[in-house]
Structure 1
Amino acid sequence: MIRNPILPGFNPDPSICRVGDDYYIATSTFEWYPGVQIHHSRDLVNWRLVRRPLERQGQLDMRGNPDSCGVWAPCLSHADGQFWLVFTDVKRFDGNFKDAHNYIVTSPTIEGEWSDPVYVNSSGFDPSLFHDDDGRKWFLNMQWNHRTESYGGAPKSPAFDGILLQEWDPQTKALTGPIKNIFAGSPLGLVEGPHLFKRNGWYYLTTAEGGTGYDHAVTMARSRTIDGPYEMHPDMHLITSRGHPEAVLQRSGHGQYVETPSGEPYHTHLSGRPLPPKRRCTLGRETSIQRCVWKEDGWLYLANGTVVPDVEVEAPNAAMPVEKPHRSGYNFDGGNLPEDFQWLRTPQPERIFSLAERPGHLRLFARESIGSWFEQALVARRQEHHRFRAETVLEFEPDTYQQVAGLTHYYNRHKFHAVAVTWHEKLGRCVTILSCNGDYPDAKLSFPAGSGVAIPDGRVQLSMEVRDNDLQFFWQTEGKGAWQPIGPMLDAGVVSDEGGRGEHGSFTGAFAGVFAFDTSGRAKVADFDWFNYDEL
């Protein structure tokens, strides 16, 4: 059986592509660098991260991008002997405008170097590229209408002004011919995330609708001609958990169709697993996949006979799930950042961290404040479990309260908790907590441990335990004594899509990692010897 989600933690907007016996899924990374995660599988059961292709300044520079902007909804395809990846770099989220720029990059292999991006258009986000069987290529994206009351956190359907279609000329590397609006969406509204495929002379269009929250859905339509008109699926939606609060997989929508080599149909989708009592999805939007069937009416349906996705799904063969370790330990000895880790926005990571300056350590160069949209030294990995423990050891000698380094449970500039080493006028070097409990206008930094606890010289170990909605920080002087709790129990559920101003306010995911900032501008260094992440 396939056990959903197949990509736990922050892995939304899954675009799936099969080449021979190999399956690849590309997911959104938003403001996290490098851009786009690509996982590989040969059985739809076991998946492994193999590439983040947008890895240099000429491909992607997100400095200044607001939270929940950056790389939205990539589409991965294979044609003409190479892989094609289309993506949006969103430069604005709040307010009436989105400023969404769409690009194409290519590579002969997933693992190889990807091309510099070719600019396509900026009329809307969620682009995809369809390779027709006559050799022509078609570019789709939703159209954004700024003349509405739609804004970040409160989307309105008129802003989602249908799905645009235009031909793409691979020779001139430009769009050509008329622009056509081929699909206005269903009555659910907020139509986005278009993907086309062709079967038995029909063009099938799947879109995402209902926003990224609990009304999310995969909507399906079809037409005999690529530019429509498109008729709606008899059930309107192929996949949705809307109106089914009992379902384990909530917020289900935005995915893509794929067939096995023998023709068995599956469809990916994003999903969320909320925690009671506030139904906050602390793991963000994850990737799941459903087995489907084609019926005599020529429409695709879920194999379970409903529109509600299953946690356990029949796999296409007798693959056995590979047991994942409960602990992930990182000692930073390899000279390269472990593949689980990312940083924020900047294509110049050498300015915020190094694994060469002090071999065996992750050295952070403290830059702008935690939550900066430009250059902050924060390196982290995804939270993949509702209950986990993370710990690290730190060498850091601050001489001002403007120098801070430590361990953080992080979502964005308004939703994070951190335990840190800093300096205090009376205490000297100390351990304290920084916390921010929600989006503006109430996004005020608080200090739940007050001025903190004075600590002796030497290396300091920091840890946190997250158990569903609760977070507790700890510290100890390395090799001396036991772990000491610091501060009160904090609300870990704030570090979620629904934290702060709630549904649609943001839509990335929670990370556990290390950080350093120095608002004096002296770039104080902080050295981390190891980092452990344990499922509890």
Structure 2
Amino acid sequence: MTVLRNPVIRGFAPDPSLVRVGDWYYVATSSFEWFPTIPIHRSRDLAHWQYAGHVRGAVPGDSLAGVPDSGGVWAPSLSWDGERFWMVYSVVRSVGTPYFDLDTYVCTATDVSGTWSAPRRVASHGFDPALFHHEGRLWLLNMQSDHRPGGRRFAGIVLTELDRRTLAPSGATHLLLQHERLIEGPKLVHRDGWYHLVLAEGGTGVEHGVLVARSRAITGPYELDRQPLLTTRDDPSVPLQKAGHAELVQTPDGDWVMSHLAARPLRTAQGPRCPLGRETAVQALTWDEDGWPRLRDGGWHPAVEVDVPTRRQELAAAADTGEPLGWPWSTLREPADPSWADTVARPGWIRLRGRHGPESWWAHSLLAQRITEHRAEAEVTVEARPRTFTQAAGLVLWYNTEAYHALDLTWAEPEGAGQHGQQWEGGGRTVLSLVEREEGATRTAAVVEVDADSPLTLGVTVDGVEARFWYVREGVRTPVGPPLDFGKLSDDHGSRLRFTGAMAGVHAVDLVDGAFTADFTGFRLTCW
């Protein structure tokens, strides 16, 4: 047996889809508006995981420009047909409207770390698709949405058989189940003559859970289990909250395990806050005497420490991809490109060319890495010469365009002068500007004049909900402004739907001609 500690993939890693192929387990997770699209991790023992690649080319044209925050690639489902890996997922282009405006795609590969086929569009009833391979046939599961006035946005689970070669529907679409509580994320498991329909229930927040239904026939009718398989909606004290969106997998020895998402909240005066986003966890399962899946240790709450029926196996170091801006770096709405993120011009440095502002859905020059624990520290050395208030570069704590903290090297008018919008020639100051963005409002928390004639080291220390920015002056860390609320960079803050997680990174802005550049070196993110 191996003892794992949940979450097994920490930080922003939601909607895990688990599959076993031989002695390897693979998990694919949602990427939303971020690149690389659909990160994949692998493990031999369910406890130790490493990045194994991503689905390159998952988005046609490699662009999510204009996609709103928390849009993009939702809930990929990974499967294996005995010869190939299959990935099905939706690209969602509207969030918070009656229309999801999505396209569902399928691609395949013989190796998750290798080349994936070009995505092919399939029937796009709604998000959270899954493929079920059974007795040589291929089935597409999905939720459906009714956008009409008075309609239900979550209007049930549907099933369509696909032609394995063309991926076109080869028969009618069947309505499997409707339920008074929101259901999505369908997966099918065939065991002992039963088709078990595994569902995400209650939405992806604190009401989240896993519900199972079953039928003797794949097209139903399906009967619901009398209790949830997994949820924390009844107990806010459980360490792993929001538990749901599960996938069931059998081990080589015939045991069963389940992947699911969960979140680790910080307890604040404003309520629970989950800045790390939704993460990937694994539980051990059994089957009761009536043939329903149950948590092996009883109840329906996720455990932090789990004995799983595997032998502990340390992973070899992940192969070097040769990509200087590869994982764990991520970028917004497009892959990193030398036209704006150059690692060649100055060896040992990353040169960012400023583009749109930080609230752009189109072309923000930002590189970021996932924050994986509630205590973290990031620092970087930057060299830049901003000449106008329209140019800036620095260190950011990022959630989305409506929630971020940034410590930027930029330009300001001479001390005491008002903001008149001039492009000053020979005047003004180089400053560090600490900015806080919160859903519709941006405020400057501090402005500190600095000497930009030499590289400057910027940093931030996160401890729970407190984020303290600093820079190094004469070898000493010097605070900039008051502590900021890291809890605002979470799924739970604000009035709009949010599905990602907090990141730390670097960015550059040039709102006039896109010619301003900033050089960065020594980026370090430590989480503990």
Offset at residue 347 of structure 1 (A): 4.3
Work out which of the residue numbers 504, 510, 513 in structure 2 matches 1:518: 510
Equivalent position SS for 2:266: coil
- Matched residue, 1:135: 136
The Cα offsets for residues 419-445 of structure 1, whole Å up to 9 and x where unpaired, read as: 0100112151111112112x3xxx211
Separation in structure 1 between the aligned mates of residue 133 and residue 163 of structure 2, nearest angstrom? 11
Q: What are the within-5 Å matches in structure 2 for residues 49-448 of structure 1? A: 49-55=51-57, 58=60, 60-132=62-134, 134-148=135-149, 158-185=152-179, 187=180, 189-235=181-227, 237-277=228-268, 278-319=271-312, 336-347=324-335, 349-426=337-414, 427-437=428-438, 439=439, 443-448=440-445
Q: Secondary structure at the match of 2:338?
A: helix
**Greater mean deviation of Cα atoms: 88-97 or 463-472:** 88-97
In the alignment, structure 2 segments of 5+ residues that lack a partner are: 415-427
Computed over aligned residues only, the root mean square deviation of the Cα atoms, in angstroms, reads 2.0
- Structure 1 contact 333–361 (Cα < 8 Å) conserved: no
Shift of 1:336: 1.6
Q: Letter of the 1:220 partner, please give it.
A: V
Report the CA distance between 1:338 and its aligned residue: 4.1
Three-state SS of the structure 2 residue aligned to 1:276 is strand
Q: Partner letter of residue 90 of structure 2?
A: T
* Shift, 1:352, TM fit: 2.7
Kindly tell me the number of residue pairs found equivalent between the two proteins. Answer: 509
Contact kept, 8 Å, 1:517 with 1:523, in 2: the verdict is no
- Alpha-carbon deviation of 1:322? 8.1
State the distance in 1 between where 2:192 and 2:322 align: 51
**Aligned-partner SS, 2:136:** coil
Q: Which amino acid aligns with 2:189?
A: F
Per-residue deviation at 1:335? 5.7
Separation of aligned partners in 1, 2:108 and 2:194:
28
Question: Please, what TM-score do these two structures have when normalized by structure 2?
Answer: 0.93
Structure 1 outlier segments of 4+, above 6 Å: 320-324
How far did 1:361 drift?
1.2
Distance in 2 separating the partners of 1:302 and 1:333: 38
The 2-side partners of 1:173 and 1:447 are apart by 53
Cα pair 1:55 1:347 within 8 Å, conserved: no
Contact 1:355/1:362 (CA < 8 Å) preserved in 2? yes
Deviation at 1:452, TM superposition (A): 3.1
Kept in 2, the 8 Å contact 1:96–1:149? The answer is: no
Instruction: Give distance in 2, aligned partners of 1:335 and 1:316.
Output: 36
Q: Percent same amino acid among aligned pairs? A: 40
Tell me how far apart the structure 1 counterparts of residues 323 and 153 of structure 2 sit (CA, whole Å): 47
Q: 1:40-77 deviations in whole A, cap 9, x for unaligned?
A: 00000100011111347646421110000000000001
Cα separation, 1, equivalents of 2:173 and 2:310 = 42
One-letter amino acid of the structure 1 residue matched with residue 18 of structure 2: I
Structure 2 CA distance for aligned equivalents of residues 261 and 486 of structure 1: 55
Q: Is the partner of 1:160 in helix, strand or coil?
A: coil
In structure 2, relative to structure 1, the CA distance for the partners of 1:464 and 1:55 (3 Å cut) is farther
Offset, 1:348: 6.3
CA shift, 1:377, in A, is: 0.5
SS at match of 1:493: helix
- Look up the match of 2:420: none
Structure 2: distance between partners of 1:483 and 1:364: 25
Distance 1:24 1:148, change over 3 A: farther
1:192-224 Cα offsets, whole Å, 9 max, x none, are 101111111111110111111110001101111
Deviates more, 1:314-323 or 1:519-528: 314-323
Deviation per CA, 1:280-329, whole angstroms, max 9, x where unpaired?
A: 011100011110101221111001110111111112134167899xxxxx
Residues 392-428 of structure 1, C-alpha deviation per residue, up to 9 Å, x if partnerless?
0001111111001000000001110010100112151
Alignment partner of 1:256: what SS?
Answer: strand
Q: Distance in 2 between matches of 1:340 and 1:34?
A: 9
Alpha-carbon distance between aligned partners in 1 of 2:237 and 2:170, rounded to the nearest angstrom: 47
Give the 3-state SS of the residue equivalent to 2:480 in structure 1. Answer: strand
